Amino acid sequence: MRTPMPLVSVGMPAFNAERWIGAALESILQQTLTNFELIISDNASLDGTLSICRDYAKKDSRIIIISNPINQGASENYNLVYRKARAPYFKWASSNDYCHAHLLQRCTELLERRADAVLAYPKTMLYQQNPADGEPCDDDLDLDVACATTRFRRFIERIRLNNLMNGVFRTAALGNTALIRPYLASDVVLMAEVLLRGPFVEVPEYLFFRSMNPDTATKLKSRRETVEHLDPAAGGRMLFQPWREQCAYFRAVAMAPLSPAQKLDLFSYLARGVIVARQHFWNDVVFSMRCLMSARRLDG
């Protein structure tokens, strides 16, 4: 039986995370804001991840466990925990990162004060093995501005690591997006979709600790490893990636609650970006066509 309506839904996708999920769970369960539900979706792990989660669930009624019979890929698993959320605020929590005990409280307090904001996020520390040894990661984004087109341009030009996604969202703001799709950088496109609906506000404290080593960080994996992580059914291939990403940005602008003039402005901005990076897009066409031709020869 589910608990009464929580203030925050925390969604934790998990796959083969037995080495670090215990610490990640502890960091959520020890939050000073206690009115939350924790939705864990195990993606057919081959290790002891699910068993660890079930042990925690026996001791804490706020935990809801979903056990996927097959690995749906990280993209769909992230979407699944969101779709199960009930609360007005939502946070994704990685199974290998660590949250300071005040993270939920500070972010929700800020969102309660800022009715116009759609996301509150803390400053980030990056670490390899021990959160205590983390180093500050300054995003230099400043997306707390009223103009949606300014926020969009600033985000596209400055985003490096997508630490923003580890903040607390208004659940309804995510409901108007395409969520995370099975292609590279889809999480970044999602953040662009959300910010077109309102400002992002920063909690000026280092409350999120992000693990950055090859075992946990997609940024440090090979392209093939990343593809298999996002979508195992892709067979190690994701083709026409820059085109899919760029089309998704165009779609985000088209679907956003903007005036016709604002949409035209951002369409022009995106089109100029394609022209400037045309060699990159052409190289991707060549690469993708070679992959398709090679696959056809193997199938034949």
The span from the CA of 234 to the CA of 181, in Å, is 13
- For 238-262, what is the mean pLDDT? 93
pLDDT number for residue 141: 87
pLDDT at 281 over 60: yes
CB atoms within 10 A of CB 232: 18
Q: What is the pLDDT of residue 213?
A: 77
Overall average pLDDT of the 163-183 stretch: 93
Specify which of 162-171, 178-187, 236-245 reaches the highest per-range mean pLDDT: 162-171
Q: What is the pLDDT of residues 127-136, one digit of tens each?
A: 988 888 889 9
Q: Hey, what's the torsion of the CAs at 44, 45, 47, 52, to 10 degrees?
A: -90
Question: Is the pLDDT at 229 greater than 70, yes or no?
Answer: no
Asked if pLDDT for residue 235 goes beyond 60, the answer is: no
Residue 216 CA to residue 79 CA, distance in Å, equals: 19
Where residue 204 falls among pLDDT bands split at 50, 70, 90?
Answer: very high
The residue with greater pLDDT, 199 or 222, is: 199
Rg of the chain in Å (alpha carbons):
20
CA 110, CA 170: separation in Å to the nearest integer? Answer: 12
Q: Cα separations (Å) of 62 from 45, 65, 90, 123, 148?
A: 22, 10, 14, 26, 36
The residue with tokens 């490096």 is 160
Tally of CB atoms within 10 A around 34: 13
From the centroid of its chain, how far is CA 50? 22
